[in-house]
Structure 1
């Protein structure tokens, strides 16, 4: 830090002070305000803080916070790792993360999809991990084909960066295909409603799925799934040498987290951390910023699941307790959530039939209308506490989108 220009040192110091005051005032972890002040005082602060570090950028519509945590854990044998562990995934959060670990030679930064070009240009990141693209907050973010196009341009202009990309997602493959160096990971694609057409020519994509593998290719042009270097096959990852690596040690539930673990193993292998060393470290991650946390409250075991778009709801359904286990759903539509809730109609809620379902949140009526159309029985309540206390002592799954999730975390205990 001492080799930073005086202006940059002042920006870091004032940013840290602002972040500390924010935490003391109970306004969050201070990452955003600290980084905002730092960048206001020195617009080149991110570039200066990234200099001489080995950085990983992690981006996706879903799973980037979890995968960032997994990669960070697996890289600990290399030394201190700077990271934005709580999801502040724009340049302000990146500045705070790097400033808080001035001596860390490594950094793993979760990056919002639309900020990848800017952050890549300013940091020259060594590794860029790209996992999935699907519709999310369409009133705020760009159309996902436009995002993939921006990734292409950014990676073409960054030949120093090595890309780890999920080749099972056609949009991610297209976005990563201009990179000079790519490791392809067959990490799976469970939500496919945003990728039935070829991003190269607009033609239809033909898909083939077997128990061992999946494939896709355009019916009208050359665009096709690359040959993977790493492959997720059920509960195992097959590495570039053909070794099948079991993932049963991974504590985070569901197929989405097996996909996240496969990406994490491919990333850390680039730094010389082999799977047998990385897996016990992945197993140490049991909760990520409250996701998958179980909170004990008045005889109820409340498990918190974050789901903010159609693809995310599909993955949340995958880890629900077996039917007829109860579930509470909470939907808001504040700025961080996206104001438009029409995406609720893209989710197939029929899987909830036969369960006790409670609906709450600011936009509970919107969600209730969707559940009624899906012929799912439900009870609307004004507050999550009413849902919790209506459930007999035992297990309750709670699925909520971003601000609703944070409200529930705050009420029942914020757990890392």
Structure 2
């Protein structure tokens, strides 16, 4: 009898039952209150640290990790859709909550009370600062390292520290690591040292490389020496239409949302899916899935409001802002910029002085807002750009921005917490991150 009881309590079905019930109850209560939160995941993490590795470790195709400074949420979404187009059941953290507790919160919405997850593979976006701790307990089978840029320096410090955090992910990966060939820090001998997995890369043709500068190029510094990687998925051209090559063949690429940086994210998604699927990879399924994928939460999302189209563009560091300005500026869009300095944004906003805003001279900057609106207004002044209105309160700024008719799209460049506030106002009742 004692032996039977011991076997039962050690089985996944029984030993995680109480934590799962508690977590599911907390998640349901928050959803009834129309609040998205990682709190249920935090609760379960505290009382049952083994739940996450036990469930993810049981998946037949293992775990795919997507990490890097910019583009994680969009690229994760693209990877998920390509894999699903190959009839693979995928679990992911689609809201972009990329800590272990956020992943657990997403997991609680999909597992049964017995702890069963109806999935073949997990595709997970990971925050750089928490990725190392995650891969220690859940070693990924495949990882995609997108880029490394200066971002939230009050959290991550200098770029070499961020590179080391991403290096931990690569070292922990068992089967395949895909790195950005345009970022010398990610395919240097130092970064690839101790990496036992097969290494491949995504890239862009020599004619396009200037569109995707690395952090060192933004600061006119000399990057580390690169290491040659043979297997590559390459963006050959963007105009008149994107073209991607791999395995000696070229393929047209269509996306339902814009941005040159999103085109490169799609190439990255193709590269990791090729590694995951190997001989199962079907270009026809893959490119059709990419064409059908809609923008991720708040990242290039289009929201209809009072007969107008509001375009939300998340910008959280110099590289992301520069890429967004190059992709969208010049189309005459009426512009609002929202800059916050909350914990999730990074307290240090001095990075705005590394952004070249001159591209906005051709687009009317209607409003600047956020907790650091005054800093933003001053920064624009030094690039000879005058904002019509400075309104620190985001709700008030949004009202002013929307009330003025415009024949073109209205674009809002916003930092993370500003994006959440704007989206809650424009789409009330829609759960946000970590839903």
TM-score range, shorter chain: 0.7 to 0.9
Name the CA distance, whole Å, in 1 between partners of 2:65 and 2:316.
21
Gaps of 5+ in 2: 1-9, 112-116, 392-396
Is 2:197 the partner of 1:183? no
- Aligned match for 1:302, one of 296, 310, 327: 310
Name the CA distance, whole Å, in 2 between partners of 1:147 and 1:189.
23
Deviation at 1:94, TM superposition (A): 2.0
- Aligned match for 1:25, one of 27, 33, 37: 33
- Within 5 Å, give how 1:126-205 maps onto structure 2: 126-156=141-171, 158=172, 160-174=174-188, 175-180=191-196, 181-187=198-204, 190=211, 192=213, 194-196=215-217, 204-205=222-223
Structure number with higher helix proportion = 2
For the Cα contact (< 8 Å) 1:7–1:41, is it kept in 2?
A: no
1:255-290 CA-partner distances (Å, limit 9, x unpaired): 111111111111222222322211111122122113
Name the CA distance, whole Å, in 1 between partners of 2:157 and 2:72.
18
1:291-345 CA-partner distances (Å, limit 9, x unpaired): 2222222232211111111111112213326343321111111111111111110
Is 2:256 the partner of 1:251? yes
Which range is displaced more, 70-79 or 58-67? Answer: 70-79
For the Cα contact (< 8 Å) 2:129–2:156, is it kept in 1?
A: yes
- Within 5 Å, give how 1:365-404 maps onto structure 2: 365-382=374-391, 383-404=397-418
Name the CA distance, whole Å, in 1 between partners of 2:421 and 2:210.
30
- Within 5 Å, give how 1:230-249 maps onto structure 2: 230-234=233-237, 235-239=242-246, 241-247=247-253, 249=254
SS at match of 1:134: coil
Which range is displaced more, 276-285 or 291-300? Answer: 291-300
Is 2:260 the partner of 1:260? no
- Aligned match for 2:299, one of 269, 291, 300: 291
1:146-192 CA-partner distances (Å, limit 9, x unpaired): 12223334533x36231011111012223345422111221557453
Name the CA distance, whole Å, in 1 between partners of 2:124 and 2:181.
21
Greater relative contact order (Cα < 8 A, sep 6+): 2
Q: Summarize the Cα distance change of 1:323–1:105 in structure 2 as closer, same or farther, 3 Å threshold.
A: closer
For the Cα contact (< 8 Å) 2:311–2:412, is it kept in 1?
A: yes
Which range is displaced more, 276-285 or 390-399? Answer: 390-399
Name the CA distance, whole Å, in 2 between partners of 1:87 and 1:141.
19
Q: Summarize the Cα distance change of 1:368–1:321 in structure 2 as closer, same or farther, 3 Å threshold.
A: closer
Name the CA distance, whole Å, in 2 between partners of 1:33 and 1:173.
37
| Paired positions, count | 390
Deviation at 1:399, TM superposition (A): 0.8
Deviation at 1:193, TM superposition (A): 5.7
- Within 5 Å, give how 1:64-75 maps onto structure 2: 64-75=72-83
Name the CA distance, whole Å, in 2 between partners of 1:55 and 1:43.
18
1:68-112 CA-partner distances (Å, limit 9, x unpaired): 000111111333211000011011122233442412121100001
Deviation at 1:114, TM superposition (A): 2.2
For the Cα contact (< 8 Å) 1:151–1:176, is it kept in 2?
A: no
Q: Summarize the Cα distance change of 1:296–1:331 in structure 2 as closer, same or farther, 3 Å threshold.
A: same
Is 2:335 the partner of 1:335? no
Name the CA distance, whole Å, in 1 between partners of 2:361 and 2:385.
5
Backbone CA RMSD of aligned residues: 2.3
Match of 1:208 in 2: none
Which range is displaced more, 93-102 or 45-54? Answer: 93-102
Deviation at 1:64, TM superposition (A): 0.3
For the Cα contact (< 8 Å) 1:164–1:184, is it kept in 2?
A: yes
Name the CA distance, whole Å, in 1 between partners of 2:296 and 2:263.
15
Name the CA distance, whole Å, in 2 between partners of 1:189 and 1:87.
28
Deviation at 1:195, TM superposition (A): 2.5
Match of 1:211 in 2: none
- Aligned match for 1:277, one of 266, 280, 285: 285
Gaps of 5+ in 1: 198-202, 206-216
Task: Could you list the structure 1 runs, at least 4 aligned residues long, displaced by more than 6 angstroms after superposition.
Answer: none
TM-score normalised by the chain length of structure 2: 0.84
Is 2:425 the partner of 1:411? yes
For the Cα contact (< 8 Å) 1:132–1:172, is it kept in 2?
A: yes
